[in-house]
Structure 1
Amino acid sequence: MEKGYDVISFGAGQPDIPTPDHIIEAAKRSLDRRFTGYTETAGIYKLREAIAEYLNNRYHASVDPDEIIVTTGAKTAIFVVIASYITPGDEVIVIDPAYPAYSEATKLLGGIPKFLPLKFDKKEGFTIDLDKLEKMISSRTKIIVLNNPHNPTGAVFPPKIVDELMRIAERHNVILLSDEIYDNFIYDNAPFKSVSEYPDWKKRAILINGFSKTFSMTGWRLGYIVAHKEAIERMIRVAVNVYSCATSFAQEAAVEALRGDWTPSKRMIQLFQRRRDVIYEELSKVKGFETWKPQGAFYIYPRVRELLNKLNMSVEEFVDYLIDKQRVIILPGTAFSEVSGEDFVRLSYSISEERIKEGIARIREAIEELETIKLRR
């Protein structure tokens, strides 16, 4: 880009829409009042109260403000939960592919991530093999991680799957850690069930969510953990020594996000659904891309194994070629998987419909170039 290249990036894991004005204005008012000091580690009470209101109104979650910790983003929340429960040699089951923070935090703390590959079918999409998951549980298993809606595949795992995951966690006395950061990015009325909808859910599950995606507040670094009070007390001891507290004036802005006008967020999500339709339609025309229409988040995760075999390339070589020759950025599946990523690529549709079409046209051109090069050899 420094050389003036027109780069089209499908790599971004954040909305391209600015934070809504009323949220920014709330932060300004907070700054004008000089609300710039430390807060309590769990977060200001007003924000925890607003989070509880949101969860209780939407999911009937029966959450109290004292069962919430506000964190510096969902990634910090992931670390705090894992650090609170994992000791060296303990195991965390990660549904693969996955956001890298789950396995990396586990390894950093001396734990062992165990990867369960999702099954893929072009018609059915990505599904969890529950029998295989249950067989992976050992005496050292402490946590099963569920990310729903799912990054990088865009899958929304149906309620019956979440039902069974809760039962498995109960049977084996393990924690179901549910990362629901994309819970408002759900398309085509796909059925979605939060773990917080179950009676007594806090006995077995821990919920993570945040403000980055729904309110386009990625740089504000605000997430939260919801769990029973005893677990919260345990995690507060980690949180206070990791980040002290989330940014004070950002917390007040987050109150406005939850209690204020949701119209900008709803419009953004409608926009992303239209983009989802465009990227699916365009990728479906690309030779060698096996594409399933995602139901949530803002990613699409096509299988490209047949194409890679034909071109005699690895997924990393293919991605590098797109960057070098066509100035298109997509991510290899290996960025999200240690066991199955070599067959997939991830594209974020956090760019305009026009740029989506142009970017995929460049991908088609790159494939034609590569096929021509192969024929000449």
Structure 2
Amino acid sequence: MTHSSTSATFAPPVMEARRWLEGVSFGAQRPLINVSQAAPVEPPHPDLRAAIAEAALHDDAAHLYGPVLGLPELRDEVAASVSRTYGGAVTADHVAITSGCNQAFAATIASLCGVGDEVILPTPWYFNHKMWLDMSSVRAVPLPTGQGMIPDAGEAEALITPRTRAIVLVTPNNPCGVEYAPDVIAQFADLARRRGVKLIIDETYRDFHSRSGAPHDLFADPDWADVVIQLYSFSKAYRLTGHRVGAMVAAPAQLAQVEKFLDTVTICANQLGQRAALWGMRHLGDWLAGEREEILARRGAIESGFAPLAARGWRLLGAGAYFAYVAHPFDIASNILAPRLVREAGLLMLPGTMFMPETDPSGAQQLRIAFANIDATGIGAMYRRLEALEL
């Protein structure tokens, strides 16, 4: 096969995991518990669906190309929200609307990197970040995380070379769920400024952060745009996964480069989706607060119910937002264990090998649990099945 950009990377992990279900039946007594993916499975709020329908029927512009960097009203709303949340000065010309947060990352890398450049990714990493770097011929430089799955800025500095263009942080983290403390984030921002690289901070899950205040103060720095590129997704907050709407916040000069990428890929983000995101931001604050409380309650159930598994040798490495990250006690690599869990326990979850370099053996002992779509009862059932495993 001729070498291509896509052949430089691996198959999509979630799609691979779904194939493990083929030929396996699940009875009423033990239905499948699917904790493989973070995407919401419920439709948007009924009033939001009505707003989408209203726009589809009566807003002619919703069916046409829009500005490449996004609906002006939505850019204004995002800027105001970021300024208010983080105590900073962000304006609409700092905001681009993208076709989901994955595209925001892709556009960011395209605007920063050339062939052979390097980007530092803490491990375990979000696999789509690694995939895009592979396809862009940009080297992903792994930064192993330490105690509590938290990366260390000092260790990151040792990895910087003349080809380094950016450091990526995901907080709350995918796959580990952990939240990076403000001082940790500040240390990485200081490092990025000192060494002349960008800090890309992916906050897809920020609406489900356990902190009541701002998760960091990066935007309080009047010169934040020299260093920081923030990525965000509307998919999780407003259940808009199928509409593909994300955002990035960066220097206007950076967005001028991003605009070139967006114009050649999608031209503009989905117009109905953008209107839905705007309506959600303006009208669903109380509802979103309730969604956050439910996710935090499920995180609590993950943590409080773990003791029986701990007694059998399991370790809870991280939990928060949509994810828990665990180490299993078996003498079986996780990429072998995970398909067996489908057949033997009716559980679909992803192995740590999907989030680690092939050269890092720790992924073989790890599993990711995306718990956002199962309630406390479902979490209890999942734990009982794991506790009963005899391998």
TM-score (norm 2): 0.87
What is the RMSD of the two structures over their aligned residues, measured on CA atoms?
1.7
Residue 19 of structure 1 aligns to which amino acid in structure 2? P
Q: 1:291 to 1:7 in 2, by over 3 A?
A: same
In structure 2, how many angstroms separate the alpha carbons of the residues matched to 1:147 and 1:86? 19
Note if 1:256 corresponds to 2:279.
yes
Residue 363 of structure 1 aligns to which amino acid in structure 2? L
In structure 1, how many angstroms separate the alpha carbons of the residues matched to 2:70 and 2:274? 7
Matches within 5 A, 1:177-326: 177-187=200-210, 189=212, 192-193=215-216, 195-286=218-309, 287-292=312-317, 294=319, 296-304=320-328, 307-308=329-330, 312-326=331-345
Query: Alpha-carbon deviations, 1:248-268, whole Å to 9, x = none?
Result: 121111111111131221111
Equivalent residue number for residue 364 of structure 2: 342
**Which has the larger displacement, 353-362 or 161-170?**
353-362
Equivalent residue number for residue 374 of structure 1: none
Query: Alpha-carbon deviations, 1:207-249, whole Å to 9, x = none?
Result: 1112011222222210011111111111101110011111112
In structure 2, how many angstroms separate the alpha carbons of the residues matched to 1:198 and 1:212? 28
Residue 182 of structure 1 aligns to which amino acid in structure 2? Y
Equivalent residue number for residue 20 of structure 1: 45
1:188 CA drift (Å): 6.1
In structure 2, how many angstroms separate the alpha carbons of the residues matched to 1:47 and 1:100? 29
1:75 CA drift (Å): 0.3
Residue 100 of structure 1 aligns to which amino acid in structure 2? F
Could you tell me whether the CA contact under 8 Å between 1:102 and 1:145 is conserved in 2? no
Equivalent residue number for residue 90 of structure 2: 63
Matches within 5 A, 1:86-97: 86-97=113-124
Could you tell me whether the CA contact under 8 Å between 2:243 and 2:272 is conserved in 1? no
Query: Alpha-carbon deviations, 1:243-301, whole Å to 9, x = none?
Result: 1111112111111111113122111111111111112222331112111462x321111
Aligned length: 358
In structure 1, how many angstroms separate the alpha carbons of the residues matched to 2:150 and 2:26? 42
1:169 CA drift (Å): 0.4
Could you tell me whether the CA contact under 8 Å between 1:73 and 1:223 is conserved in 2? yes
**Which has the larger displacement, 337-346 or 269-278?**
337-346
Matches within 5 A, 1:2-21: 3-5=25-27, 6-21=31-46
Q: 1:113 to 1:149 in 2, by over 3 A?
A: same
SS of the residue corresponding to residue 301 of structure 1 reads strand
Residue 68 of structure 2 aligns to which amino acid in structure 1? T
In structure 1, how many angstroms separate the alpha carbons of the residues matched to 2:246 and 2:344? 38
Could you tell me whether the CA contact under 8 Å between 2:318 and 2:325 is conserved in 1? no
Could you tell me whether the CA contact under 8 Å between 1:300 and 1:348 is conserved in 2? yes
1:139 CA drift (Å): 0.4
SS of the residue corresponding to residue 136 of structure 1 reads coil
Note if 1:115 corresponds to 2:142.
yes
In structure 2, how many angstroms separate the alpha carbons of the residues matched to 1:240 and 1:97? 32
Q: 1:204 to 1:293 in 2, by over 3 A?
A: closer
In structure 2, how many angstroms separate the alpha carbons of the residues matched to 1:293 and 1:191? 21
Matches within 5 A, 1:31-110: 31-33=56-58, 34=60, 35-110=62-137
Residue 303 of structure 1 aligns to which amino acid in structure 2? A
1:330 CA drift (Å): 1.5
Percentage identity across paired residues of the two chains: 25
Could you tell me whether the CA contact under 8 Å between 1:195 and 1:207 is conserved in 2? no
Note if 1:144 corresponds to 2:167.
yes
Q: 1:153 to 1:41 in 2, by over 3 A?
A: same
Residue 337 of structure 1 aligns to which amino acid in structure 2? M
1:3 CA drift (Å): 3.8
SS of the residue corresponding to residue 368 of structure 2 reads strand
Q: 1:224 to 1:341 in 2, by over 3 A?
A: same
SS of the residue corresponding to residue 154 of structure 2 reads helix
In structure 1, how many angstroms separate the alpha carbons of the residues matched to 2:251 and 2:212? 30
Could you tell me whether the CA contact under 8 Å between 1:185 and 1:297 is conserved in 2? yes
- In structure 1, stretches of 5+ residues that fail to align are 371-377
SS of the residue corresponding to residue 302 of structure 1 reads strand
In structure 2, how many angstroms separate the alpha carbons of the residues matched to 1:215 and 1:140? 38
- In structure 2, stretches of 5+ residues that fail to align are 1-20
1:18 CA drift (Å): 3.0
SS of the residue corresponding to residue 38 of structure 1 reads coil
1:190 CA drift (Å): 8.4
Query: Alpha-carbon deviations, 1:124-181, whole Å to 9, x = none?
Result: x222222211010000000100111111111111111111111100111001111111
SS of the residue corresponding to residue 201 of structure 2 reads strand
In structure 1, how many angstroms separate the alpha carbons of the residues matched to 2:217 and 2:108? 18
